[in-house]
Amino acid sequence: MGKIKEGDVVGRRSYNKDILFKIIEIYREEDKKEYCRLKGIYYRLLADSPLEDLVKVGPGELAQCLREHTIKSSEHMQRIFTRRERDKKLVLGRAAQYGGKNKVVNGNGVNGFDVPGTVLHIDGDSDYLDLCLTTYRQLSIPADGYNIEERQQSQVTPDLLKRHNPDLLVITGHDGFIKGKNDFSNIKNYYSSQFFVDTVKAARQYEKSKDDLVIFAGACQSHYEAILNAGANFASSPQRVMIHAYDPVFVVEKIAYTSIYDPISIKEIITGTITGFKGIGGMETRGKYRFGVPKSPY
């Protein structure tokens, strides 16, 4: 397939090509061997690998992988819309009950409108950000997104919070446990975890309440405990596994569309992600959805 170069999609021989990566940098170490800095195509992972361990992925294999991930994401989206229909019936019943003589009812129940929670998404990867913003639109979640390198996120977050005043904040990008390290409790052994911690702390200086500003932070293999201790409601990665590019979206979707009156099951939030409890965890959090009546005809 020709010489491997920056921008190529590759897999690692030593890992049986379990994850597809894009090469973002080729460099030489002191041993004069060539190494590559890699970022996951579908997983928010950074990694380094000897060039000789990499195999270039052809268009057919890449297309097949894309189809598989598209099917998986579509299945999650369908479950979300099914759940919303179920939840909407409960909200409609409550609105009709409280409406009294002035309640507005049509053939399908109360004629109202949705006010979901709003999202500010700060992502270290422009490709993932575009995918997430597209998914927010498909899920009818108002969202603003910014591609900011992980190390710079803490500097810009307070100003972006002031500008958008969101209900939910997503801080993500790429991360990973540095190869050759063995202490998972030491945050210095991660590519980006310290940056995520610093950004969460900066956000909490702007808004201390975990109810008023719900924060998801982290990426693949991130230092879960440190990010939660910094003030995040949800974080990755409890068992230091990879998380899917869409996992942050699926977490905040559940919060954005859960009524402020209803308790949120942590289990339901986490099982609604692609990765599950090995990759995502968090704490009890209030919903951000409000139902309004009546809907204006204008």
Strand duo 34-40 + 234-235: pairing:
unpaired
Alpha-carbon distance of 146 to 154, in angstroms, equals 13
The domain covering 109-292 belongs, at the CATH homologous superfamily level, to: Response regulator (3.40.50.2300)
pLDDT value for 101: 47
pLDDT value for 94: 62
pLDDT value for 105: 45
Query: 152: which DSSP letter?
Result: G
Q: Which residues in the chain show pLDDT less than 50?
A: 99-107
pLDDT value for 93: 64
Which residue type, as a one-letter code, is found at position 67?
A: R
Alpha-carbon distance of 278 to 298, in angstroms, equals 47
Concatenated DSSP letters of 37-70: EEEESSB-BEEEEEGGGEEEPPHHHHHHHHHHHH
Indicate the domain borders of the chain: 9-60, 109-292
**Contact of 39 with 22, CB cutoff 8 Å:** yes
Q: Which stretch of DSSP H or E encloses residue 91?
A: helix 59-99
Q: What is the CA radius of gyration of the chain?
A: 21
Burial string for 144-176 (b: 16+ CB within 10 Å, else e) reads ebeebebeebbeebeebbeebebbbbbbbbbbb
Question: For residue 256, which of 140, 95, 93 has the smallest C-alpha distance?
Answer: 140
Alpha-carbon distance of 188 to 19, in angstroms, equals 24
Alpha-carbon distance of 89 to 76, in angstroms, equals 21
Question: For residue 220, which of 45, 47, 48 has the smallest C-alpha distance?
Answer: 45
